[in-house]
Amino acid sequence: MDYPKSVPSVGLVNGKFVDENTVSGAPGSLISASWGNAVTDELLAVIRAAQIDPKEEDVDQLLEAIRYIVQNDAYTKNRVYSKEEMDALLKSNNVVPVGMMVPFPKAAIPPGYLEVDGSLQSIAAYPDLAAYLGTSYNKAGDPAGYFRLPESRGEFLRGWDHGRGVDANRALGSSQLDALQNITAVLGLRGGTSAGTGALGGASGAMSVSFGWGGEANTITRDANTSARSDTIFFDASTVARTSTETRPRNLAVMWCIKAWNAPTNQGNIDIAALKALAVQATEINWGLGRIATQAEVNAGVDDAPVVTPKKLRFGFAMSFTPASGYVLFPTWLGGLLIQYGRATLAPDTFSTLTWPLAWPDACYGIAGAVHSSLERVDDDITPQYRNLTKTSVILDRQDNGLVFTTLRDVFVIGIGK
């Protein structure tokens, strides 16, 4: 909203209303200048208070400004609103105060909220929420300039006792483990073997007894020659009820969020100087910004500033293990070392070509092996030999020196290279 500058017949002078000039005879504006200026200035003051640039063709700016002022906590709300006024505000504005916790039925955090997950947050980034929560939930060792949110994940919320005495001696925001109200029972047993005395003497609490003969327990005879037990009484709630490792009611899982700022305008009193301190390189002792390292930087292992992600840390690492063959390939930043093994079952004085599980990127630098036998023999003069070593294969020879043993032998080989 602005002065009607686009309407020449209004008679504005220097963009404002004027009265008729009785000396020169110049006509005045179509309305009283003082009234027109006062009304327009009043409306413009409201619009500018909402940080809106006045536009003559926009007829909704006053409504937009009022909504902003009602929503902004910078303006003191020191009056009581009627039901009709509250209904109107609720229909057109977000009046949830900063610090209020709200449950949401899906894992999507709305603008203006943070998940109540016990995380550390910057006081500079969320000054209003920090002013409300303070350091009530901070832990020993938390850095200065940060406040911690409560932890709601997996928790039921309970109204603070606040002196009522139902849940006495609880501090606001304190956690409480699950518990079950104590259940007690007594089962009485009688000694003796005479007829009519019986074994059960009665029960109380969570247990009861039922006598099957003449209103009393059946008679038992105790064998004096044995101490072995004959009857056992078990108590197991899982046979008649749902049980778990905790006591809980039926429930619906929700995500609790806390109002952190007024969306969509955000807060108008963020400390830019405090935020500037966070816009520095993060180090082992300083909170700040971090840049993700490239794979080349991770492989080089020289730059200590970028941040390494788990995916880049494992890039190039591979392994496979089977009884016949296998390998371990280390990532480039660990030298790209490759260790492989294989086996072949050979008859006397025969050979077999073993294909490496992975082709050696450069070469196999060293190779060793042994002959395995399940027989209890120590004089088998069998030697493993290797030849024609390439990037993809090696020939395994079984060399029988002297006596020839007709049984098959497993020849194992292990290679190392990169």
Q: How far apart are CA 112 and CA 263, in angstroms?
A: 5
Binned at pLDDT 50, 70 and 90, residue 203 comes out as: confident
Express each pLDDT in 14-35 by its tens digit.
878 788 777 777 777 777 576 6
The DSSP secondary-structure symbol of 117 reads: B
Poorest-pLDDT segment among 278-287, 319-328, 393-402: 278-287
Q: What is the 3-state secondary structure (H, E, C) of 13-36?
A: ECCECCCCCCCCCCCCCCCCHHHH
The DSSP secondary-structure symbol of 58 reads: -
Q: How far apart are CA 217 and CA 211, in angstroms?
A: 5
Is 224 within 8 Å of 203 (Cβ atoms)? no
Burial class (CB in 10 A: 0-12, 13-18, 19+), 244: exposed
Closest CA relative to residue 188, chosen from 220, 224, 228, 217: 217
Question: What pLDDT does 266 receive?
Answer: 46
Domains and CATH numbers, the chain: 1-93 (no CATH), 96-156+248-271 (3.90.1340.10), 184-247 (no CATH), 272-308 (no CATH), 318-417 (2.60.40.3940)
Is 267 within 8 Å of 68 (Cβ atoms)? no
Burial class (CB in 10 A: 0-12, 13-18, 19+), 18: middle
Question: What pLDDT does 151 receive?
Answer: 95
Tokens of 184: 């007690």
Whether 72 shows a pLDDT value over 80: the answer reads no
Is 206 within 8 Å of 184 (Cβ atoms)? yes
- Beta-carbon count within 10 A of 266 CB: 11
Q: Which of 36-45, 135-144, 286-295, 314-323 has the highest mean pLDDT?
A: 135-144
Determine phi and psi for 127, rounding to 5 degrees.
-65, -40
Q: Which of 23-32, 122-131, 193-202, 372-381 has the highest mean pLDDT?
A: 122-131
Place of tokens 């309970």: 158
Tokens of 249: 């009611």
